[in-house]
Chain A
Amino acid sequence: MSLTSSQLRFRARQLYKELLYMSREYNQGLLPDYPIHERLRRCFGAFVGADDDKVREGIKKAEFIQKELEALYFLRKYRAMKRRFGE
């Protein structure tokens, strides 16, 4: 568990970069485009200058969303492949 406040913020910035990378695959040609980049900025922007406990909560939420996105991407691909190549 991160202890110092600067370590927490470092982790938060790390998570922002990772979610930014993951969010590129979100829309996949769906129209209208879900404004995922904007939403990401807004979510992280709410924590600017917040105290350590809030940042800890935010980190937990960001890690949860990371896992949700990974599951979403896998399921989308699996279901598409199953529809095309399944019996």
Chain B
Amino acid sequence: MRPTNVNLLKVLVPIKRTIDYAVKIRVSNGQVETNNVKHSMNPFCEIAVEEAVRLREKHKSLITSITAITLGPPKALDILRTALAMGADQAIHVEVKEGTIVEPLAVAKALQKVVERDGYDFVVLGKQAIDDDASQVGGVLAGLLGWPQANFASKVELGDDGKKVKVAREIDGGLETVEMDLPVVVTTDLRLNEPRYASLPNIMKAKKKPVEKLKPTDLDLDLTPRLETINVTAPPARQGGAKVGSVDEVVAKLKEAGVL
């Protein structure tokens, strides 16, 4: 009988449903228009799912399961299916009503409850969401759990014994490599990997994978917002530049502007 590997890791990948990156954002009545606008998984979250799947492909004996989790309206089930199609094994959907404001602090608290309930060892999530650019959930979650964290990861190396992880972080001026003992929180940066495309056959297979539905009350969650958005306005429209004919004209215009 072969001795079983005791260090089996459970990976949690929190993801977020945001407005698709290619959509032209329209602002009306001091709010971003979200009705009938295409939504998809946050690009950084896709990188996180891909990283979890790649780690499992590299360390098959270490990682037992990859769970994707999201806090969102019923439609957020679509991005859970995409994560399952990319390679996650199961998903958790904490369902809130359409239009509820969910702040990063509430998300981090929900994730903390889920981590403590199910006992995950490795949480990998996107560094920021493209809609609010808060970049808070990773750090707040690590603080609530008391776990080490490595943000803006551009390379993640799991030790062969499943006890340590080495992460290269992107900082101003280069790369910082940190080594941490599991359990850890890692947030992904753009250059970490190239997320695979969730093809149609994989999406079909993903419909059979289990999705657990939870309500905020199941996690004793308080979703009241701590921040009040006073106004949202679109940036000022770009003003066209003028074409000049020769170098002398450029110099003349610069002198006019007071730059030369």
Q: CB-CB < 8 A to A74: which residues of B?
A: 194-195, 197
Map CB proximity to B onto A60-87 as digits: 1 under 8 Å, 0 otherwise: 0000001000100110111011101110
Closest Cβ–Cβ distance, residue B29 to chain A (whole Å)? 22
Q: How many residues of B contact A (CB 8 A)?
A: 15
Closest Cβ–Cβ distance, residue A16 to chain B (whole Å)? 11
Bound complex: CA A82 to CA B190 (Å): 7
Closest Cβ–Cβ distance, residue A22 to chain B (whole Å)? 8
Closest Cβ–Cβ distance, residue A33 to chain B (whole Å)? 14
List residues 75-128 of chain B with CB under 8 A from any CB of chain A.
Answer: 128
Bound complex: CA A56 to CA B90 (Å): 37
List residues 206-240 of chain B with CB under 8 A from any CB of chain A.
Answer: none
**Do A18 and B43 touch across chains, with their CB atoms under 8 A apart?**
no
Bound complex: CA A22 to CA B203 (Å): 12
Closest Cβ–Cβ distance, residue A29 to chain B (whole Å)? 6
23 A-B contacts, Cβ less than 8 Å apart? Answer: A18-B199, A18-B201, A21-B199, A21-B200, A28-B22, A29-B22, A66-B199, A70-B197, A74-B194, A74-B197, A76-B22, A77-B22, A77-B43, A78-B190, A78-B194, A80-B21, A80-B22, A81-B21, A81-B190, A82-B190, A84-B130, A85-B128, A86-B190
